[in-house]
Amino acid sequence: MQRFVTIRTCYKPLPVSDTEQQLYEVVAAEAAARQAPVYVVGGHVRDKLLQRDSKDIDFTVVGNGLALAEAVGQKLQTPVTVFKNFGTARLQYHDFAVEFVGARRESYRPASRKPEVQAGTLLDDLARRDFTINALAVSLNADDYGMLLDAFDGLGDLERRLLRTPLEPELTFSDDPLRMLRAVRFAAQLDFAVVPEARMAMRQHAERLRIVSIERITDELNKMLMTDRPSIAFDLMFKTDLLREVLPELVLLYGVEHVEGKGHKDNFYHTLQVLDQVAKRSDDLWLRWAALLHDIAKYDTKRFEKGKGWTFHGHEVVGARKVETIFRRLHLPLQEPMKRVQKLVLLHLRPIALSKEEVTDSAIRRLLFEAGDDLEALMTLCESDITSKNEKKVKKYLENFRLVRSKLIEVEERDRIRNWQPPISGEVIMRTFAKPPGREIGIIKEAIREAILEGRIRNTYDDAYAFMLEKAAELGWHPVTKN
C-alpha cells in the first residue's frame, strides 16, 4: 500500500566543485530549453550530505532523458553512450561518470527483476528507489534551483543513520531482491543500521535472491569485503538468512559444540574478526577473500578426539579445495585471484609451525618457495588470525611472528628462494636423456627441487646435474649428451 507523501523541500548549501558547477549549468540550460525538469538524485546527493567523495552523478529527467543526454553531450563535446534497453545514457565529464534517465514508474512480475517501465513523475521515480537516503533529489530548475526535495524523510534517516525503504519493505525487496544485499552493503559502508521492519522483510524474502544474477550478487559481496568493517555485512547477512543463500558454507561455521565439557571456538565469529583485522591491515580484495574462507572447512574436518579435544586436521587442504567450488559458483575469477586465495588458505597454518623454537632452515626455505610473492599477504593473514581475548597471549603470538619474519628475511637474503627456479629445467632433463615430456621428467625435476630446499645438495647447476644423473639412473636412464 502506498503511503501518501508530500515532497518536503529545504535549502541545504552543499559544496560543489567548479567542474560540477559547469556541468549543472549546461544540464539546467538544456533541460529548460526542452521544458523537461531535471534533478540530481540518489547516491551523489547522499554522499554529499555525508561528506563522502562521489564521482557518479545521476540525473533524473521528467521527460526524455536520452534526448537531454544527447544535447548535453553536444554542448560539452563528449560522446554519449546510450543504453536503449534501460532507457539510460552515460557520458564522462572530467572525472565524473554522469548518467541520465527519464523519471519512471515500474511494475514488477514475481519471477524476474526486470520491471515493466512507464514514464512517471519525479515522485514515482523516487518511490521506486531502494532507500530513503538514496531517494533525495536536488532541483536544477529555474523556480526552485538548488532546493533539496525529500519525499521520504531521507534527511531524517541520514541523521539517525538508518536504512529504510521508501515504500513497504516487502514490496521494495520482493520487486528487486538485490536491494537486500545493497542494504547490507550500505550498512557496512556507511555504518548505518537497517530498520527492524526492513530486517524482517529481508529474512522473509531471503530466498528471492535466487532470481538475482550471480554477477550482481558477487559485485555486492566484493563491495562488502572492501568496507572498513566487513564483519558488519556478514553478520547482518547471517542474521537475516541472506548468507544461507550466498555463502551457506560460512553459516555452517556458526556455533559451539561441547563434548565432555569441552567446547571449541565459534568459527563463524572468529572468521569475521579475522576478516576485520585483515581489513585494517590491507586493501587487497583477494587477501580479504582468503580471510573470509581461511577456516571454511572447519565444519567438514571437525572431530572430538579423546584426550586431545577438538581437532580440525587438514582443514587447510580441504578448505583450499572448497575455495574453487565457491569461486566457480560465484563466477569469481578462476585464474590468478583464485590461485592466490587457495594458496593463502592452504598455507595459513605454516607460519605458526615456523614460530616454534627449533625450526630448520629447510622449513623456512620451503615456505619462501611455496608462498613466493604472496608471503607478505600470508604473514598479514596469520597475524590477523590471532583472536585471543588474552592480551598477553596476543602479544606473545605477534612477537613470535616477528621472529618468523626475521628468519624469513635472513634465509631469503642468503638463499634467494622467493622467486627461485631450480637450476635444472625440464628441457635440460629431456635433452640429456633424449626423452619426450612425461611423468618421469616431472618426478626428476621435483626431486632436484626437494633436495635443494632440504639442503641435501647445493643450489648450483653442477650439484643439481649430478643429482639428476643419480635420479635418472634409478629409472634406468642414461645420458645421451654430455653436460
Nearer of residues 56 and 207 to Mg ion, judged by Cβ: 56
CB of 119 to ligand ATP, least distance (A): 17
Residues of span 233-272 touching Mg ion by CB under 5 A: none
Contacts of residue 317, Cβ cutoff 8 Å, sequence gap at least 6: 297, 346
CB of 172 to ligand ATP, least distance (A): 8
Taking alpha carbons only, the member of 254, 248, 280 closest to residue 384 is 280
The residue range among 37-45, 161-169, 301-309, 444-452 that interacts with Mg ion, by the rule CB under 5 A, is 37-45
CB of 185 to ligand ATP, least distance (A): 8
Residue 294: name its binding partner from ligand ATP, Mg ion, none (Cβ under 5 to 8 Å by kind).
none
Nearer of residues 127 and 381 to ligand ATP, judged by Cβ: 127
Give the residues lining the site for ligand ATP (CB under 6 A): 42-43, 56, 58, 129-130, 134, 176, 178-179, 182
Residue 446: name its binding partner from ligand ATP, Mg ion, none (Cβ under 5 to 8 Å by kind).
none
Taking alpha carbons only, the member of 88, 85, 93 closest to residue 59 is 88
Q: What is the DSSP letter of 209?
A: G
| Separation CA 480–CA 483 (nearest Å) | 10
Beta bridge partners of 101: 60, 88
CB of 287 to ligand ATP, least distance (A): 22
Nearer of residues 86 and 461 to ligand ATP, judged by Cβ: 86
- b/e burial code for range 413-442 (CB count within 10 A of at least 16 → b): eebebbebebbbeeebbbebbebeeeebbe
Residue 130: name its binding partner from ligand ATP, Mg ion, none (Cβ under 5 to 8 Å by kind).
ligand ATP
Residue whose CB is nearest to ligand ATP in the complex, by number: 43
Taking alpha carbons only, the member of 167, 166, 246 closest to residue 212 is 246
CB of 219 to Mg ion, least distance (A): 13
Nearer of residues 56 and 410 to Mg ion, judged by Cβ: 56
Residue 166: name its binding partner from Mg ion, ligand ATP, none (Cβ under 5 to 8 Å by kind).
none
CB of 180 to ligand ATP, least distance (A): 10
CB 139 within 8 A of CB 39: yes
Taking alpha carbons only, the member of 161, 165, 139, 162 closest to residue 152 is 165
- The SS3 of residue 54 is coil
CB of 414 to ligand ATP, least distance (A): 48
Nearer of residues 134 and 342 to ligand ATP, judged by Cβ: 134
- Here the cell at position 40 is 540530481
- Candidate list 12, 29, 43, 141; residue touching Mg ion; CB under 5 A: 43
The residue range among 1-9, 40-48, 125-133, 310-318 that interacts with Mg ion, by the rule CB under 5 A, is 40-48
CB of 56 to Mg ion, least distance (A): 4
Beta bridge partners of 40: 59, 138
Residue 178: name its binding partner from Mg ion, ligand ATP, none (Cβ under 5 to 8 Å by kind).
ligand ATP
| Separation CA 7–CA 143 (nearest Å) | 15
Nearer of residues 227 and 400 to ligand ATP, judged by Cβ: 227
Count of alpha carbons within 13 angstroms of residue 269, beta-carbon side: 7
For 324, other C-beta atoms within 10 Å of its C-beta total 14
- b/e burial code for range 196-232 (CB count within 10 A of at least 16 → b): eebbebbeebbebbeebeeebbbebbebbbbbeebbb
- Candidate list 17, 33, 56, 329; residue touching Mg ion; CB under 5 A: 56
- State the residues that interact with Mg ion by CB under 5 A: 43, 56
